[in-house]
Amino acid sequence: MKILDGKSLSELIKKEIQSEVASIVASGKKAPHLAAILVGTDGASETYVGSKVKTCGEIGFGSTLIRYDSSVTESELLEKIHEINSNPEIDGLIVQSPLPRHISFEKVTETIHPSKDVDGFHPVNSGRLMQGKPSFVAATPKGIITLLDRYGIETSGKKCVVIGRSNIVGMPMSILMARNSKPGNATVTICHSKTSDLKSYCLEADIIIAALGKPGFLKGDHVKEGAVVVDVGITRVADATKKSGFRLQGDIDFDEVAPKCSWITPVPGGVGPMTIVGLLQNTLMASKKEILF
């Protein structure tokens, strides 16, 4: 069994981006700039946004963090998004979820201009992805594809099971694995909460990508010998031995599954750091206007 080490690969790719940014700035152009909107004080959201903003600084991107109290109205938030859409200094915008109940995630997503939608959630970007056209791809599936690509994992002709069908992970992941590309060209089965006999699909799979948010769900007897297993799950599980009072747990029972795999991602240190890389790559693309809308 070998580890798909997202942490060290992400460090390498961040250095590559950093050197590209240095050349951009040396040529007299402005550095890529990411804006992030955070509503409320959810602990996990604070951590994710904080780490995105910090990484921007490390690699030479500009960043703006806009904070709102959870009482902010939907119209105030949408107005801010319109303002950012027309601000030429800002290349990419993300709005951290979850949002308070009185704010529609859909409305927020659809208000971000597709050219600044570096999370890839706007229907224009997801529709373009489905049609195989240039688009911003959601950061987590994009990061996983980069991980498989850089590790030279063969996907063509392989049977792939994606567990989960959310718009931000499972669905785009399935399309990326199935599309006519490298990595891609896999035969993909999408499993979800209504799938009966999920284990039988997993046992057939050469590649399993688990994105369901159920800690330790995938056991050793779900996986065939030699499979490649990617764990997207990051659930905070109470752990009194940790200073924070919790630890992050993936959707895979690592101790049971790892001995059967050819390759596996750890949690933490697998998909998480690659997700940040996906976001940085999208922001760089946005600043270079690589995709025309």
Of the residues 5, 91, 96, 116, only one is catalytic, namely 96
CB atoms under 10 Å from CB of 56, counted, come to 25
Indicate if 2 belongs to the active site: no
Site for ligand NAP in 206-235 (CB under 6 A): 211-214, 232-235
Round to whole Å and give the CA distance between 43 and 230.
25
Under rule CB under 6 A, residue 140 binds ligand NAP? yes
Name the residue nearer to ligand NAP (CB basis): 182 or 192. Answer: 192
Indicate if 96 belongs to the active site: yes
Name the residue nearer to ligand NAP (CB basis): 206 or 251. Answer: 251
Q: How many residues bind ligand NAP (CB under 6 A)?
A: 25
Instruction: Among 122, 128, 165, 222, indicate the residue that binds ligand NAP (CB under 6 A).
Output: 165
What does 223-260 look like in DSSP terms, one character per residue? S-TTEEEEE---EEEE-TTSTTSEEEE-SB-HHHHGGG
Under rule CB under 6 A, residue 163 binds ligand NAP? yes
Name the residue nearer to ligand NAP (CB basis): 69 or 197. Answer: 197
Round to whole Å and give the CA distance between 272 and 265.
10
DSSP H/E element including 287: helix 271-287
For helices 139-150 and 6-26, what crossing angle results, to 10°?
100
Name the residue nearer to ligand NAP (CB basis): 140 or 146. Answer: 140
Binding site for ligand NAP (CB under 6 A): 140, 163-166, 168-170, 191-195, 198, 211-214, 232-235, 271-272, 275
Residues with active-site annotation: 52, 96, 119
